[in-house]
Amino acid sequence: MTELARPLVATHDSAERASGAVLRRAAPALLAYAGTRLLGLAVLAIWAAVADESPHRLLSARWDSLWYARIAADGYGYSVSVPAGADVRVHSDLAFFPLLPWLERLLAEISPLSHADAGLLVSALASLVAAWGVFAVGDLLYGRRAGTALVVLWAALPVGIVQSMAYSESLFTALAAWGVYAVLCGRWVTAGVLAALAGLTRPVGAAVVAAVWLTAAATLLPGRRGTRDRAERRRMLLGLAIAPLGWCGYVAWVGIHTESVTGYLDVQGGWGNGFDGGLAFAGFIGEQLTGPAFLAGAALLVGVALLLWLYVTCVRQRQPLPLLVYGGVVLLLALSAKGYFGSKPRLLLPAFPLLLPIALALARLRPVRAGLLLGALGLVSALYGAFWLHGSGPP
């Protein structure tokens, strides 16, 4: 393993040195991130002008954005019946976790913004905080160049345009990235609070909780170099106690609201969602491979293989446990979920640790060559994002 690919040991001293000048150190990465996302928005605006469409509507008033804005304005309690073959499914707003609509309501009450525009503002600010957190993780473990490459790769994902929508992905990734960073630095209470907030943002908040809990468990194993300080152990236990409160609290509230222990699972079932170990997704890929959409099925198969290869590479590079747990759980939940399969790329958007092997490879290149490659990826992402939002788009 090269020096570049060898993770650093995150100590309190190194964490403090990084935090002392973190904004100045992260500035180039944040500028590159902002430039990539602005390119995506510019291409979307041009595409929308040609298609006589409103880019504002595409970003703030379609699909899940409407549900979040409705919750922000009126609270929970809305549902709609949707025909699904011979059956009728009930789509309930209880499927959406509350932190984003809470923030939308707060901003709408203290400013002239509508709830939808408040969602756009939350997403814009959260995406910058998320980019900062992604950089902080990459920089702490592998250095500034790798951290910058990681940020731009995350911005240039094919569905990166979602980071600029009134969706919860940017908010969740911001909380998750800084939560993982806090675990790497041994700041257990901070990690617990961020995990709890992530658990109030999306169902996959369980991945952040798992990263906190499993890392703490590994730290406390006999024979491991865990903390021996009683005060630090108390902070660890407090962080562990706080971490699941957001996710468990909302799921429990839905259960009380629906008068069912399985209330949240029932709500997801009404949307046709749930977890079956990936059987439905495998069946969907099989249908594509044996039908007229063979190329689409082959592309899906290659995409899944690439994701699994990236995760195995992360393991072989001996990335720190919090990253492996968080990225692995996000990947597992996304691939094992049934429902609308077109949403899987969006569900994988927070899995930034999977991009680390590519970021490390880019960091080894000459800066000009790496910049050209990342710029080309950003342009492709911008074109695809505009095409995607003018088509089926995210559900």
- Taking the domains of the chain in order of start, what are their residue ranges? 12-389
Contacts (Cβ under 8 Å, ≥6 apart) of 145: 363, 367, 370
The span from the CA of 192 to the CA of 179, in Å, is: 8
pTM equals 0.93
Give the tens place of pLDDT for each residue, 23-79.
889 999 999 999 999 999 999 999 999 999 999 999 999 999 999 999 999 999 999
Contacts of range 265-272, beta carbons closer than 8 Å, 24 or more positions apart? 267/92, 267/94, 267/95, 268/95, 270/79, 270/89, 270/90, 270/91, 270/92, 270/95, 271/89, 271/91, 271/92, 271/95, 271/339, 272/84, 272/89, 272/338, 272/339, 272/340
Give the tens place of pLDDT for each residue, 186-211.
999 999 999 999 999 999 999 999 99
**pLDDT attached to residue 64:** 95
Give the tens place of pLDDT for each residue, 205-243.
999 999 999 999 998 876 665 555 788 889 999 999 999
Render the burial of 148-185: b for 16+ CB within 10 Å, e for the rest: bbbbbbbbbbbbbbbbbbbbbbbbbbbbbbbbbbbbbb
Distances (CA, A) of 235 to 13, 152, 172, 242, 255: 18, 34, 24, 11, 31
Residues linked to residue 338 through DSSP beta bridges, in sequence order: 274
3-class secondary-structure state, position 338: strand
Whether pLDDT at 12 is above 60: no
Render the burial of 262-284: b for 16+ CB within 10 Å, e for the rest: ebbbbbbbbbebebeebebbeeb
Nearest-CA neighbor of 373 among 37, 146, 149? Answer: 149
**pLDDT attached to residue 394:** 86
**pLDDT classification of 2: cutoffs 50, 70, 90:** very low
Highest mean pLDDT out of 342-351, 373-382, 385-394 = 373-382
> 122 and 168 in contact (C-beta within 8 Å)?
no
The continuous run of DSSP H or E covering 84 comes out as strand 79-84
> 72 and 108 in contact (C-beta within 8 Å)?
yes
What are the residue ranges of helices labelled H in the chain? 12-20, 22-50, 55-60, 64-74, 99-110, 115-142, 144-155, 169-184, 188-199, 206-220, 230-242, 245-258, 263-270, 279-289, 294-316, 321-336, 344-347, 356-364, 367-389
Give the tens place of pLDDT for each residue, 296-352.
889 999 999 999 999 999 999 999 999 999 999 999 999 998 887 888 999 999 999
Give the tens place of pLDDT for each residue, 135-186.
999 999 999 999 999 999 999 999 999 999 999 999 999 999 999 999 999 9
Give the tens place of pLDDT for each residue, 362-372.
999 999 999 99
